[in-house]
Amino acid sequence: MDTISHLHVEYKEALQPLIRQRLHSGDHCWLPPQPDSLKINVDASVKKETGKFGVGVVVRNASGILMGAPAEPFEASWSVKHAELIAIREALRFCIDMGFHQGEIVIDCREALQAVNSLPMNTQLDPDYFLVESLQEIFSLHSGFIGSFASREANRVAQCIAQYATGLTHYESWLEVGPQWHTTVLQADICNSSL
């Protein structure tokens, strides 16, 4: 059994340079947050043909270590912006529930981030009005969180989890240890291999 375990470790180590090279062309990868902070990558994957979307969140510390990650499916056909706003809400809920009280919420939908960071919307007829208003309230009550934008390439793990969530029938989450596919993507996503 020890031989098999040793061979598995060697195999994974041999693959890492190949995975990093493929994922990091153009230096688009995950960068760590400030020490003593968390980076919370968030994404939504919308499958209009099935009327479903999935939310993926990954929370990592400054060493790149997984702190937690939820995958949540939704039965709804909303716009990408609305789904991304829901993803931000679910990320904040997860973090608050897990006792994470500060961090950088990173999303690859500039339009959703701009809506949350803008002055209050001037019309209740906007379909995102109440969701944006509730997100602004959460951010004001939990001032340790900030929102920021990153390219899709730098948000790859959250994207994978969101896509995975579209095939689920129920909520799943992991604390500190994820499934093997998740671990492989996490390791390949980090820019600085010395973390």
Q: How far apart are CA 114 and CA 148, in angstroms?
A: 9
Q: How confident is the model at residue 190 (pLDDT cuts 50, 70, 90)?
A: confident
Q: How far apart are CA 75 and CA 108, in angstroms?
A: 22
- Any bridge partners for residue 40, and if so which? 59, 105
Give the orientation angle of helix 110-117 with respect to helix 129-141, to 10 degrees: 70
Q: Which CATH architecture has domain 2-189?
A: 2-Layer Sandwich (3.30)
Judge whether 135 and 116 are in contact, CB under 8 Å.
Answer: yes
Over the stretch 22-63, which tens digit does the pLDDT of each residue have? 333 334 678 889 888 999 999 999 998 888 999 999 999 998
Over the stretch 130-177, which tens digit does the pLDDT of each residue have? 899 899 999 999 999 999 998 888 888 999 999 999 999 999 999 988
> Does residue 5 register a pLDDT over 70?
no
- Any bridge partners for residue 18, and if so which? none
Residue 134's H or E segment, with its range, is helix 129-141
45 backbone dihedrals φ, ψ, rounded to 5° = -120, 115
Over the stretch 81-94, which tens digit does the pLDDT of each residue have? 999 999 999 999 99
pTM assigned to the model: 0.80
pLDDT on residue 137: 92
